[in-house]
Structure 1
Amino acid sequence: VRGLTTAAGIWMVATIGMAVGVGMYLVSVVATGLMLVILVLLEQLEHRIHVGWETRIVRIRIGAVVKDIEAYRHCLSEQNITLTNVFVEYDFETPCTRLNLVVLAKNTTDFVKVFGLLRQLNPTQGISLANQVTI
């Protein structure tokens, strides 16, 4: 089970099953119809709003301990990329910082250009791009 829609769907199916079990057939049919209409319409609306947008993870390995990521946030925002979440790992012995930036970007985004801009912010050792499911 993943996501709020899936959880709500499971609860609705359980509720409809109980309604059928107690003989409320009309309520069950209406609830099923409403649930299907809502799920289909909201999915279409969501696709229209976010058409061409993808969630990605930009992984950056920096050869220093970075205490402020505001420069990264600003750089991404200038490229029309929305930073939705940040995961930071510090290695004080090396010193090294690993940033996992969860971003929402258009599928036409030129990440090579973005990587070049991000590389200029700190002594960068490596940058990679991944799908959200691989975090």
Structure 2
Amino acid sequence: MDPWTIEPLEMLLRIFAAFVLGGLIGLEREKNNHPAGFRTHILVCLGSALVMLLSMYGFSEFADEPNVRLDPARLAAQVISGIGFLGAGVILTKGISVKGLTTAASLWVIAGIGLSVGAGFYIPAVMVTVLVLFSLLILNKVERKWLTNRKDTILRVQSDAPVERLEQFHEMMDKYHLEVRNMRVKVREASSESGQIHTFPATYWFTLRGRDKDLLKLIHDMMLLDGVNEVRTE
């Protein structure tokens, strides 16, 4: 059999397999409202499979020409490097939080699955699809339940209390093992005709590192303090 030719039925089978495998992973991303979902993963997988088929069989008519060397990996390599541009588009930065890294990684993997299907590597493509789904569906729950989830969060507190209340805030944060990474205080003051200085509500920004459940307990306790008007994350 000529290695540079392929039956039309086999070609259609590979394209359909890319559609199914890409859709399975995309369905999980879509269900959890991630930036790149069902259709995006299908399109990436289909496109990768098509590029692989083109790279392997699209130039078969030139295979017997003198001084012509076909390289099936050339176009495939461009897919691997080019998918980084699409992956960067789904990574969102909000303050100190970064979201979309898992979705970007899944797009990179789905491109590899599409290339594998296009090359006829069905068993590795199916195996990787199963492992990706296992990682997204099962290991995600294991990570949330058993692994320590410590991340940085900006906490904004608005209070009528004087700045001396800071010591009390820090004691509460120590109680829940929350590390203060950064702090900023904004206080507005005005002088009256009698010469007295009146302090208006102060706003505190704390960058805290710790677990979500400990942060929720801290917010609850802070809201019970006299003079605290608002506590929220940014």
TM-score by length of 2: 0.37
User: In structure 1, what residue type is equivalent to 2:119?
Assistant: V
User: Of the candidates 163, 175, 184, which is equivalent to residue 88 of structure 1?
Assistant: 184
Secondary structure of 2:120's aligned partner: coil
- In 1, the alpha carbon distance for the partners of 2:187 and 2:169 equals 19
Contact (CA 8 Å) 1:58, 1:127: kept in 2 or not?
A: no
Higher CA-based Rg: 2
User: In structure 2, what residue type is equivalent to 1:23?
Assistant: G
Structure 1 residues 2-49: Cα deviation after superposition (integer angstroms, max 9, x where no partner)? 332222111111111111122211111111111111222211212323
**Does residue 42 in structure 1 map to residue 148 in structure 2?**
no
Equivalent residues, number: 119
User: Of the candidates 125, 129, 132, which is equivalent to residue 231 of structure 2?
Assistant: 129
- In 1, the alpha carbon distance for the partners of 2:219 and 2:131 equals 42
**Does residue 16 in structure 1 map to residue 113 in structure 2?**
yes
- Higher-RCO chain (CA-CA 8 Å, sequence separation at least 6): 1
| Residues 30 and 127 (structure 1), Cα distance of their counterparts in 2 relative to 1, 3 Å cut | same
Q: Where do residues 64-83 of structure 1 align in structure 2 (5 Å cutoff)? A: 72-78=169-175, 80=176, 82-83=178-179
Contact (CA 8 Å) 1:91, 1:97: kept in 2 or not?
A: yes
Q: CA RMSD in A?
A: 4.1
Larger helix proportion, structure 1 or 2? 2
Structure 2: tracts of 5 or more residues without a match: 1-89, 91-98, 191-198
Identity %: 25
Structure 1 residues 74-131: Cα deviation after superposition (integer angstroms, max 9, x where no partner)? 42121x26357646365788796531445633587374533456x7xxxx7x54233x
Tell me the equivalent position of 2:213. Answer: 105
| Residues 31 and 127 (structure 1), Cα distance of their counterparts in 2 relative to 1, 3 Å cut | same
- In 1, the alpha carbon distance for the partners of 2:157 and 2:215 equals 20
Larger strand proportion, structure 1 or 2? 1
Secondary structure of 1:23's aligned partner: coil
Tell me the equivalent position of 1:114. Answer: 222
